[in-house]
């Protein structure tokens, strides 16, 4: 019986042949693009290594002191672990925010190095390619324009303007912000945050402004919506919800007029930390590896009481207090599942009783099917977490631990510092708020596939049953009735492609973390192609699971810059199908030889022998990885017959 593909058997031992030199004579445009791609894909990924968030300094001077300590630490760091460089352009004196930004970002595990443009300088800083902003090579840029700074007369002149003129004045600001973001994107692939406009406080516009459908508040809100629409169309540009931050903190007390008159500082003392915390939180969500699974305890977490005391009768859960508090907590958790987070259970209980509670208790909101993994037993929680991570094939740093017991939380924090731990308060009434405040659960933009991911794991149970019944792997695979859709990257697929490029670790031949903008360039460039594969079988649609990038290295030699696959479809010959597709597309553009590259990383060992197993010849290898080649004319790659193929869209231009 043939062994399943995708898994190495033993190593490949051979002597090191001389390196193949890349032939010269690349077209200028292609080589520029490829050089840029190589540079930008070496970005650092910042992981949340802290299980809990350190305390904030109590006083402003404390922030100054702590920020200096941190900045000294960053300066002393080795080149390999550098800080996130943030460029800030603001219509107010943003320099005041520096210590608050550095400290708040550090609390979230993001080493931050902010750079501030000159006061109220936007176009001057963004439009020139030799501007100090761009020579910094920032990882992120924050464009912070405030209505009160940019059009201070707006509110006072409003009664005389009429709705068209008023809306146009706001539109001018919005279009300016969008133009700056676009111009910034020309110069850099940095992540861009653009502040939206905060409606003036109630005291300024009066209690009756909201009753005027064309009043200030509604016009500003409409402009913010237009801004969100405009930015959605751009790669890696996000709204920073300044309006939301101000409203939440209290628009009436946001500013301190003294500080404005003294130094054009935009916020009161306490709101400096609020603003810095929110910016840090946004950056953390955009830069760190995402949390994927909430691991939940049962007793006094999902219900009141201890199941083991008296079975179902001991569970406090229902529509009246205190049971209603737990029921609402379960509803909130279900909401996270809908947003694409997995739920798992880790409980010290009797499995039979737990099964009974999950299946039979009438007040449970969460049922067996809602959990992607269930670990019930009497062993220590860290071991359960390890098993859950392994079963779900995700890293420990993608777990968030939710348990009412401070001793359990401390044990997990000590043994598994990479696991996020929510510090639930003593009173269950505060559980939902604690969850909402937990930064690791922030998600920049929800993709449709995130939403359906939780459902996929239940489908998988159906697939497991078929696997047990089939007499052989081939039979099982054929029985699945797999259908693969293949195509080239376009506006509809690029976000999912980008997501996979960043989060796929195991089945990833080169682990190049291309930025969204790089992917777009490659997709549009002649001599390169960004390709995908979407898989379905008789149990359901598994979504877009393969991403490949092929580029012309020289003449008729093409290289596989990127080849990755979601682990959920390992062992089905999908990788063979996709490789055949990549080879075919390259051949259609003139390739006669195909080069495969394997770059070694901590987690990519499963694909070390990928090319060897598929008849590629080893060209070179060292401790970083290996290079392989195949003559496509002499030995073309075949699409496996057990997977039905559908080609989507137009073929890739040559």
Give 259 or 336: the residue with its C-beta nearer to other proteins. 259
Q: Least distance to other proteins from the beta carbon of 60, Å?
A: 4
Phi, psi angle pair for 453, to nearest 5°: -60, -40
Angle (nearest 5°) at CA 561 between 531 and 577: 45
Instruction: Locate the DSSP E strands across 326-428.
Output: 342-347, 371-376, 399-402, 420-421
For residue 109, count other CB atoms closer than 10 A to its CB. 19
Q: Least distance to other proteins from the beta carbon of 272, Å?
A: 8
Give 102 or 231: the residue with its C-beta nearer to other proteins. 102
Rounded-to-integer distance, Cα 352 and Cα 372, Å: 18
Give 72 or 469: the residue with its C-beta nearer to other proteins. 72
Give 90 or 237: the residue with its C-beta nearer to other proteins. 90
Give 22 or 258: the residue with its C-beta nearer to other proteins. 258
Q: Least distance to other proteins from the beta carbon of 65, Å?
A: 6
Interface residue list for other proteins (CB under 8 A): 58-61, 64-65, 68, 93, 95-96, 257-259, 261-263, 265, 269, 272
Give 16 or 269: the residue with its C-beta nearer to other proteins. 269
Give 57 or 596: the residue with its C-beta nearer to other proteins. 57
Q: Least distance to other proteins from the beta carbon of 88, Å?
A: 14
Q: Least distance to other proteins from the beta carbon of 81, Å?
A: 25
Q: Least distance to other proteins from the beta carbon of 120, Å?
A: 14
Long-range contact pairs involving 552-555 (C-beta distance under 8 Å, separation at least 24):
552/30, 552/527, 552/528, 552/589, 552/590, 552/591, 553/22, 553/23, 553/595, 554/22, 554/23, 554/24, 554/25, 554/26, 555/23, 555/25
For residue 360, count other CB atoms closer than 10 A to its CB. 10
Q: Least distance to other proteins from the beta carbon of 61, Å?
A: 4
Give 271 or 562: the residue with its C-beta nearer to other proteins. 271
* Burial state string for 527-540 with b = 16 or more CB within 10 A and e = fewer than 16: bbbbbbbbbbbebe
Rounded-to-integer distance, Cα 630 and Cα 632, Å: 6
Could you give the angle at which helices 323-338 and 448-469 cross, rounded to 10 degrees?
90
Give 58 or 320: the residue with its C-beta nearer to other proteins. 58
Rounded-to-integer distance, Cα 408 and Cα 500, Å: 33
Using DSSP, state whether 427 is helix, strand or coil. Answer: coil
Give 61 or 437: the residue with its C-beta nearer to other proteins. 61
DSSP state, 59? S
Of 602, 608, 556, nearest to 583 by C-alpha is: 556
Q: Token pair for residue 512?
A: 């190049």
Give 257 or 650: the residue with its C-beta nearer to other proteins. 257
Q: Least distance to other proteins from the beta carbon of 204, Å?
A: 20
Alpha-carbon distances, residue 601 vs 39, 287, 510, 511, 624 (angstroms): 18, 19, 8, 8, 8
Q: Least distance to other proteins from the beta carbon of 201, Å?
A: 20
Rounded-to-integer distance, Cα 37 and Cα 118, Å: 31
Q: Token pair for residue 158?
A: 């409003």
Q: Token pair for residue 130?
A: 């030799």
Could you give the angle at which helices 163-187 and 154-161 cross, rounded to 10 degrees?
130
List all residues 6 or more positions away from 148 whose beta carbon is below 8 Å from its beta carbon.
200
- 617-622 and 399-402: which strand pairing? unpaired
Give 58 or 427: the residue with its C-beta nearer to other proteins. 58
Give 156 or 257: the residue with its C-beta nearer to other proteins. 257
Question: How far, rounded to the nearest angstrom, does the alpha carbon of residue 291 sit from its chain's CA centroid?
Answer: 9
User: DSSP 3-state helix, strand, coil percentages of the chain (rounded to 5)?
Assistant: 45, 20, 35
Give 98 or 608: the residue with its C-beta nearer to other proteins. 98
Q: Least distance to other proteins from the beta carbon of 258, Å?
A: 4
Give 120 or 300: the residue with its C-beta nearer to other proteins. 120
DSSP state, 430? G
Whether cis (ω within 30° of 0) applies to the bond prior to 354 is: no
- Residue 553 is inside which H or E element, if any? strand 540-554
Strand ranges across the sheet with 293-296: 371-376, 342-347, 293-296, 399-402, 420-421
Q: Token pair for residue 480?
A: 């699945």
Distance between first and last Cα of the chain: 40
Query: Which runs of consecutive H residues, i.e. helices, occur in 202-256?
Result: 202-205, 216-232, 242-249
Q: Least distance to other proteins from the beta carbon of 71, Å?
A: 10
Q: Least distance to other proteins from the beta carbon of 240, Å?
A: 22
Give 272 or 566: the residue with its C-beta nearer to other proteins. 272
Give 96 or 307: the residue with its C-beta nearer to other proteins. 96
CA-based R_g, the chain, Å: 27
DSSP state, 479? H
Q: Least distance to other proteins from the beta carbon of 341, Å?
A: 39
Q: Least distance to other proteins from the beta carbon of 261, Å?
A: 6
Q: Token pair for residue 52?
A: 């809990």
Q: Least distance to other proteins from the beta carbon of 31, Å?
A: 46
Q: Least distance to other proteins from the beta carbon of 112, Å?
A: 18
Angle (nearest 5°) at CA 43 between 575 and 604: 30
Looking at the DSSP bridge assignments, the partners of residue 552 are 558
Strand ranges across the sheet with 540-554: 617-622, 625-631, 593-599, 557-565, 540-554, 528-537, 483-488, 644-647
Quick one: three-class SS letters along 484-498?
EEEEECCCCCHHHHH
Q: Least distance to other proteins from the beta carbon of 99, Å?
A: 8
């Amino acid at each position: 019986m043939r062994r399943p593909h995708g898994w190495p058997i033993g190593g490949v031992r051979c002597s090191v042949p001389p390196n193949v030199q890349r032939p010269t004579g690349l077209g200028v445009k292609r080589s520029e693009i490829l050089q840029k791609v190589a540079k930008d894909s070496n970005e650092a990924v910042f992981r949340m290594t802290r299980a809990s968030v350190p305390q904030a300094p109590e006083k402003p001077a404390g922030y100054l002191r702590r920020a200096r300590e941190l900045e000294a630490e960053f300066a002393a760091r080795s080149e390999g672990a550098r800080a996130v460089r943030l460029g800030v352009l603001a219509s107010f004196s943003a320099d005041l925010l520096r210590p608050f930004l550095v400290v708040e970002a550090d609390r979230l595990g993001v080493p931050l190095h902010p750079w501030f443009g000159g006061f109220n300088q936007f176009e001057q800083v963004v439009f020139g390619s030799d501007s100090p902003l761009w020579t910094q090579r920032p990882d992120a840029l924050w464009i912070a324009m405030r209505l009160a700074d940019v059009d201070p007369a707006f509110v006072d002149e409003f009664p005389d303007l009429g709705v068209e003129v008023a809306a146009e004045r706001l539109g001018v600001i919005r279009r300016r912000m969008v133009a700056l973001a676009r111009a910034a994107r020309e110069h850099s692939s940095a992540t861009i945050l653009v502040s939206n406009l905060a409606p003036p406080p109630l005291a300024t516009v009066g209690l009756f402004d909201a009753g005027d459908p064309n009043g200030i508040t509604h016009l500003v809100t409409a402009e913010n919506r237009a801004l969100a629409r405009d930015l959605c169309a751009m790669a890696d540009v996000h709204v920073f919800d300044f309006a939301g931050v101000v409203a939440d903190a209290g628009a009436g007390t946001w500013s301190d007029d003294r500080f404005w008159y003294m130094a054009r500082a935009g916020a009161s003392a306490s709101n400096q930390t609020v603003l810095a915390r929110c910016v840090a939180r946004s950056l953390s969500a955009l830069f760190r590896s995402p949390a994927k699974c909430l691991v939940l305890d049962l007793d006094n977490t999902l219900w009141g009481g201890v199941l083991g005391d008296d079975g179902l009768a001991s569970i406090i859960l229902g529509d009246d207090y205190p049971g209603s508090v737990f029921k609402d907590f379960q509803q909130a958790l279900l909401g996270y599942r809908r947003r694409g987070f997995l739920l798992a259970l880790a409980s010290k209980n009797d499995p039979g009783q737990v099964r009974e509670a999950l299946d039979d208790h009438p007040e449970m909101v969460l049922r067996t099917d809602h959990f992607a993994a269930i670990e019930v037993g009497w062993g220590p929680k860290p071991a359960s977490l390890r098993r859950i991570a392994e079963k779900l094939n995700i890293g420990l740093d993608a777990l968030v631990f939710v348990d009412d017991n401070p001793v359990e939380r401390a044990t997990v924090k000590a043994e598994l510092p990479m696991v996020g731990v929510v510090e639930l308060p003593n009173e269950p009434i505060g559980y939902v708020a604690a969850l909402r405040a937990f930064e690791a659960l922030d998600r920049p933009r929800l993709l449709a596939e995130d939403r359906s991911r939780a459902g996929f794991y239940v489908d998988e149970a159906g697939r497991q049953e078929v696997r047990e019944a089939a007499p052989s792997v081939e039979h099982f695979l054929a029985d699945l009735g797999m259908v693969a859709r293949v195509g080239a990257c376009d506006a509809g697929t690029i976000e999912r492609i980008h997501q996979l490029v960043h989060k796929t670790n195991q089945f990833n031949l080169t682990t190049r973390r291309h930025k969204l903008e790089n992917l777009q360039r490659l997709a549009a460039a002649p001599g390169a192609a960004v390709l995908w594969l979407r898989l379905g079988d008789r149990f359901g649609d598994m979504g877009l699971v393969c991403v490949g990038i092929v580029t012309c290295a020289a003449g008729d030699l093409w290289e596989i810059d990127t080849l990755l696959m979601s682990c959920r479809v390992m062992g089905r010959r999908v990788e063979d199908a996709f490789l055949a597709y990549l080879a075919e597309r390259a051949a259609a553009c003139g390739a006669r030889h195909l080069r495969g590259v394997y770059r070694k990383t901590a987690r990519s060992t499963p694909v070390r022998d990928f090319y060897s197993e598929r008849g590629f010849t080893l060209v070179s290898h060292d401790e970083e990885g290996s290079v392989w080649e195949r003559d496509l004319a002499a030995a073309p790659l075949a699409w496996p017959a057990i997977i039905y193929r559908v080609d989507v869209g137009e073929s890739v231009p040559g």
